[in-house]
Amino acid sequence: MKKAYISIGIVTAILFIYVTGIRFNLVSLAVLIFSLSPLLVFWMVYTVLRAPVKVEQGFEEGKSMYCDRRVR
């Protein structure tokens, strides 16, 4: 799971750099990061989905995992 946290942190930091670059009108940096963003997001999603996490609860018939109020 540590690799997943690292990838989330790196992609978040690059997003912050991207937003800062747009704010200070650094067009070439913004275009570079924008063009690499699909690969970065794919890498982050891949590492999160491949993380070895044991799932203890699942969906059961007629039950949902989260419910604010009763559905009538």
| pTM for the structure as a whole | 0.70
Closest CA to 1 of 47, 39, 40: 47
Cα-Cα-Cα-Cα dihedral sign, residues 62, 53, 48, 6: positive
- 54, 18 in Cβ contact below 8 A? no
Query: pLDDT tens across 12-25, in order?
Result: 999 999 999 999 99
pLDDT band at 68; cut points 50, 70, 90: low
pLDDT at 12: 95
